[in-house]
Amino acid sequence: MARLSEWRIAVGLMVHFAMLVHYAHFARAQLGSLLRTTQLLGGFISIDCGSTANFTDPVTSIEWVPDAGYISVGANFQNVALNGLTDITLSTLRYFPTYRRKFCYTLPATLNTTYLIRAQFHYGNYDGTNSPPNFQISIDATITSSPLFTSSAYDPVVAEATVVAQSDQLFFCLLPNSTSDVPFINSLELRNLGINYIYYNLIDKGPYYLENVGTYNFGSDETVRFPDDLYDRIWVAQGTAGYQVLSTTSSINVTGYNRDEAPTKVLQTAQYWNTSVNLEFTNLLATEDLHYVVSLFFAEIESIAATEKRNISMEPGTLNGIGYLDVYNLVGLDTVVEYAWSAAILNSTDTLLLSTTADSLLGPMLNALAINRIYLPSQLRTNLGDVNAIQSFKSSIGLDSWSGDPCYPVPYDWVNCTVNATNGVRISSINLSSMKLIGPIPTSLSSLEGLTTLFLDNNYLNGSIPNQLSSLINLEQLHLQNNNLSGPFPLWATNLTQLEELYLQNNNLTGEVPSLSAFANSSIQILTFGNQLLCNASGCPKTTSNYKFPIAIVVGVVVGVIVVVVILGIIIVCLCQRDSLSPDRDLDEVRDPNQVRAYSYDQVRNATNNFANEIGSGGFGHVYRGTLGDDAVAVKVSKTYTRLDFRQFESEVTNLSRVRHNKLVRLIGYCNHMRKLILIYEYMEGGSCHDLLHGEERNTLNWETRLSIAIDAAQGLEYLHEFVDPKIIHRDIKTANILLNKRNEAKLSDFGISRPILEGGHPPTQVMGTRGYVDPEYERTQNLTEKVDIFSFGVVLLEFISGRDPVSSLGSGHFAYEHVRTRLDARNITDVIDESFGLDYNVDSIRRVGQIAKRCVNPKSKDRPTMTLVLQELCAAKNIERPESSNGRHHAPSAPTLEVELSTTSSHLLPGPSAR
């Protein structure tokens, strides 16, 4: 039984499609003119990924260019081992070491034009791990396949697809399967097939993506591509050794076809058999929703005597009722006939039998074969208006490195999307908190009509809040706090009926804040503190047209003198009443009256109902619940009045007066009265993480909640380290100082021992903190840097994973983080996961957090990550734990193997074929 040359397509997605050859019979002498015309028309784009210079292929004369103009993330590697391979584009690659959900090349296109896209992946053990990564490929919004790497690091994988452009851009994206996978790519090619490609619409729907299973050149030892195939399809040679072959040098007539026929050079050779031959399809893994385009090309290139006949029959099914194909009698010598199934449903055991009729003296023959898998249906892209708006937004704000469709097949890390029957795919949420954005807020955001959440807080944005944002009628949350925004209060916000949160604190806004009754949603929560020129309607200065300057000056001076005298008297009395332990200066010298408010002792006592409701206690003192106006507050009262007490009190007020962040507990006010140091905070009704993890009334927090808490705390700590000048070191990061509200949203608290780090570093300080969380290197050197907080935060992460108290019961002097870290080093992560999780967690998510936690508790502070990197890793872990429901990921079917052997077995190709 004869076999087709050893022919197994085990590469996970060789994708190729029948592309036109109207000009295949043109002389090679005309090649130069055709090549220039094709490339000038944008027909070819050939990208050598990871390279830095152009080069021209000496065989095809195709010009290759670096990929820097098509993608702006990733890193280059330029010494990939070829191990005998001759394609020099495989010697370079671009890889993507920093996790994102997707990495996309942006390719120019023409709407409704058909293109062939081909990518090559040659691992070559470039990273020295001998472990190729796992990732998927998507084109625009549709995941098409996954490269299936063999056990050898030196077997290239080719992915090829035919697609129809849905806009003026095509996105070719790599999607890592996990946060530890690092995708890579060696080359990327785009070939224009025009607008008349035969498979633009299939099965009365469309457009569809075709993935190449294989294009095969029978009767030849030469693989054919450009310039012999003007559209640069690759026709793989099936060889001649051991087979009966035919060949001719005559031109083959290929006119009248729809640009999917094989090129002349392929049709000039053929393989033939004396008896029937059976083509077998294996490993196709087809389903009812997965169809194939199967095209067989026949050109009679052997002169046939009048008494001879070659009637080729293809079973099962008939050809328009004829039952066989007589190529010579049908079209004559040297003219191609294509016999095709445009929507065949293939199973792994299906076969295609080529045989001849009883009166045929010549056996069957075959010149070429093309098989393409149809993806049904192609995924619709995000609303074009939203795509254009987000593209303009990215360009304006410095986010150009984020490319591809913003929502599909997976959204950007900072975008959420929704789908409905009326509006299609729309962007519903943007969260760019703490992204170090600079410049004005882009007005292009106003075109995102489906936007409900917009978080741009904790950046360096400036300018006024655009009035154009008034068109975001579905907006529910607008967070712009902690920027450098100026201009008037956005009065247009009063008309947004869905707006529930408007956070504008710590900017430079001016004017009057309307009363709640002026807003369409009167239950809206508005935060505006930290804007020195912003006032409430009742508190704004009144102006008058009468000029009374002299009287006003006199009254002002008199009142001012009286106030100064009174204050001096009070200060003298207070100083006289202090004992030897009192500090040398009062808090009035350091506080900023524009940030927090000083309360009298009577006001505090009334707010707490004479300190009736104690809710906790700590090293500083007792904590009471109280009420100021309509707001619940937590009031912390010192136990003693020592110099150290005052220093911590002073530090808390000073630091929290100059920093505001929605992940830091807000200091509302203070009171310094007769040996009583009192701090007033916003009330966090959820309590502390420590109590929920280890307290008597333990409320078990599942892994997803703990991870969200960790992200909240990391955002607050990143703000202190990266966005405050000078940066602030907390020095007492622990679960007891992470407080929760009723929605389990976390904030950092207790800044009593925090310290600002001035330029040039901080001199050695007395070591302070909590046993089990304190950095051992800090204990030895007393050198205070932000890495002290990083260590403590790493302990918190390990505490979240294991559920263990930092001070373990393993023995005196041993801490829980040491035990957990050891288990992580030994890759026994399941041994330390908190049993209370049950099965409600993703082990890859916990493993990702465990890895960054290990880096945080590295004994050498210089090897610890920054809080920005820690936050990125936590967000990546959150994406693993709860990926977007609309990400569209799936595993594409594995590539098929096609075998040919002599047989009389029938095939089962459905529905029936057609000939062209």
**Contact by Cβ (8 Å): 689, 740:** yes
Please report where in the chains the tokens 């031959």 appear, as a residue.
277
Burial class (CB in 10 A: 0-12, 13-18, 19+), 176: buried
**Contact by Cβ (8 Å): 767, 774:** yes
Which one, of 180, 131, 139, lies nearest residue 159 by Cα? 139
The contacts of residue 502 (CB under 8 Å, 6+ apart) are 478, 493, 524, 525, 526, 527
d(CA 771, CA 813): 10
Burial class (CB in 10 A: 0-12, 13-18, 19+), 635: buried
Token pair for 650: 């002073």
Q: Using alpha carbons only, give the angle 554, 557, 563 rounded to the nearest 5 degrees.
A: 140
Handedness of CA 246, 247, 252, 256 (dihedral sign): positive
Q: Could you tell me how far CA 545 lies from the centroid of its own chain? A: 58
> C-alpha distances in angstroms, 84 versus 81, 87, 124, 707?
9, 9, 11, 48
Q: Using alpha carbons only, give the angle 884, 886, 890 rounded to the nearest 5 degrees.
A: 95
Element (H, E) at 389: helix 384-397
**Contact by Cβ (8 Å): 82, 126:** no
Query: Helix or strand or coil: residue 705?
Result: helix
Helices vs. strands in the chain: H and E counts, helices first: 14, 48
d(CA 489, CA 220): 76
Which one, of 86, 91, 62, lies nearest residue 190 by Cα? 62
For the question of residue 732 being annotated catalytic, the response is yes
d(CA 689, CA 739): 6
> C-alpha distances in angstroms, 102 versus 91, 173, 382, 833?
24, 6, 16, 29
Element (H, E) at 366: strand 365-366
d(CA 105, CA 172): 5
Query: Helix or strand or coil: residue 667?
Result: strand
Q: Using alpha carbons only, give the angle 551, 557, 559 rounded to the nearest 5 degrees.
A: 100
Judged by phi (left if over 0) then psi (alpha if -120 to 50, else beta), residue 243 lies in: beta
Instruction: Examine residue 911 and say whether the peptide bond preceding it is cis (omega within 30 degrees of 0).
Output: yes
The contacts of residue 446 (CB under 8 Å, 6+ apart) are 389, 466, 468, 469, 470, 471, 472
Is 639 labelled a binding residue? no
Catalytic residue among 732, 775, 789, 834: 732
Handedness of CA 804, 806, 811, 814 (dihedral sign): positive
Q: Beta-strand (E) ranges in 475-601?
A: 477-479, 484-488, 501-503, 508-513, 525-527, 533-536, 597-598
> C-alpha distances in angstroms, 332 versus 89, 123, 210, 299?
43, 48, 32, 9
d(CA 408, CA 391): 15
- β-partners of residue 93 are 77
Which one, of 569, 578, 605, lies nearest residue 675 by Cα? 578
What are the residue numbers of the active site? Answer: 732
- Binding-site residue numbers for ATP are 636
